[in-house]
Amino acid sequence: EVQLVESGGGSVRPGGSLRLSCAASGFSFDDYAIGWVRQAPGKERLGVSSIRSSDGDTYYSDLVKGRFTISSDRTKNMVYLQMNDLQPEDTAIYYCAAEKSSTWYWAQRVDYGMDYWGKGTQVTVSS
């Protein structure tokens, strides 16, 4: 059974940090670009960041470059998103999503569907 299970969401003040985790199972971890898609009420879905562990290929949305860092642990089939300097506009549900592709193609699939999705974790940034 394929599973993507997110954890690490919560509420922080502007300028704060959170670390999201995604536990992947049931598919070949190294063959997939795995990352984070966020959805906020009234806003378009955004591909935030992804990583393909087999070669270290990464993708970042321009909105998060310099603030967010994605990483993975191939021994544990885990993907992490370190989010620093969080701002209210980062408030959203963050979904872990996997596509058997490059990270560039992963970003193109955000609006059309990925191979696998998690159930999401809420991130709220508010003063």
Note the pLDDT of residue 21.
98
The rounded percent of the chain whose pLDDT value lies above 90 is 91
97-100 long-range CB contacts below 8 Å, 24 or more apart? 97/4, 97/34, 97/35, 97/36, 97/37, 97/50, 98/4, 98/24, 98/27, 98/32, 98/33, 98/34, 98/35, 99/32, 99/33, 100/31, 100/32, 100/33
Residues of the chain with pLDDT under 70: none
Summarize pLDDT for 46-74 with one digit per residue, the tens. 999 999 999 999 999 999 999 999 999 99
